[in-house]
Amino acid sequence: MPLLLSLLMLAACGKKEKELSPARINAIADSIVNSRMNKLRKQAKEDLERRLPIELKPKIDSILKVTHDIGPVPVFPGDEGKPALPDTVHQLQLQVRTPANDTQR
């Protein structure tokens, strides 16, 4: 048996391997990387779908609790957190900066 193994090893070592060109090496490497990346993307997507409901629900509940505890937050000083009335938007005016009214030169 050991003699048979040694003969097989000599026969295997005696073969001269065909050299690979750089383009062929790149093609093989790209193939390996692409197959692994596809597996990793699939696994990441599965992990996201599994973890999203688990991790998102406590965060949403925490935000809702804090929002409920502190109540409305004032946006401008003195508004006491009351929502803006629909017609308030029309009272706001934007000043367009033009060369004629530009005082920051």
Asked if 49 and 43 count as a contact pair (C-beta separation under 8 A), the reply is no
Q: How far is residue 32's CA from residue 26's CA, in Å, rounded to a whole number?
A: 10
- How many domains is the chain built from? 1
Residue 81 forms part of a structural domain: no
Q: At residue 41, does pLDDT exceed 80?
A: yes
Residue 88 forms part of a structural domain: no
Q: Is the pTM of this model over 0.85?
A: no
Look up the domain containing 34 and give its range.
20-72
Residue 7 forms part of a structural domain: no
- Give the pLDDT score at 5: 64
Residue 2 forms part of a structural domain: no
Residue 12 forms part of a structural domain: no
Residue 14 forms part of a structural domain: no
Position with higher pLDDT, 35 vs 7: 35
Residue 65 forms part of a structural domain: yes
